[in-house]
Amino acid sequence: QLQLQESGPGLVKPSETLSLNCSVSGVSITSDDYYWAWIRQPPGKGLEWIGSMYYSGSKFFNPSLKTRVTTSVDTSQNQISLKLTSVTAADTAVYYCARGSGPSGSGKTDNWGQGVLVTVSS
């Protein structure tokens, strides 16, 4: 049974870096049959794709966030990570990690973590 669990600080100061981890259990992250994605949802608003990556190294990012986003895979911990730099209040959101299959890291996102709320405030 695949499970994903996000973790990280719930409060980040403006201009600092948001760092989140997603622990994956029940399956190895080393398969290229799937992508691992980060998706966020501001309070009361819709879903926004941040980026997707494959174990092989292919990565795809939302152009509006690309210059501030870094993602990585840690096979020893079976987890994926997200870093978002220079955050502002607009980055306040529930951040989800998810697994899916489809072209270029999109579509059929069939497993989601519970999400973690990150608030950007001084």
Q: Which is nearer to other proteins, 18 or 38 (CB)?
A: 38
The set of long-range contacts for 49-55, using a CB threshold of 8 Å and a minimum separation of 24, is 49/106, 50/82, 50/84, 50/95, 51/105, 52/100, 52/104, 52/105, 52/106, 53/80, 53/105, 54/105, 55/29, 55/30, 55/31
Among 29, 49, 73, 79, binds other proteins (CB under 8 A): 49
Among 62, 78, 81, 85, binds other proteins (CB under 8 A): 62
Q: What residues make contact with other proteins under the rule CB under 8 A?
A: 37, 46-49, 52, 60, 62-64, 96, 98, 102-110, 112-115
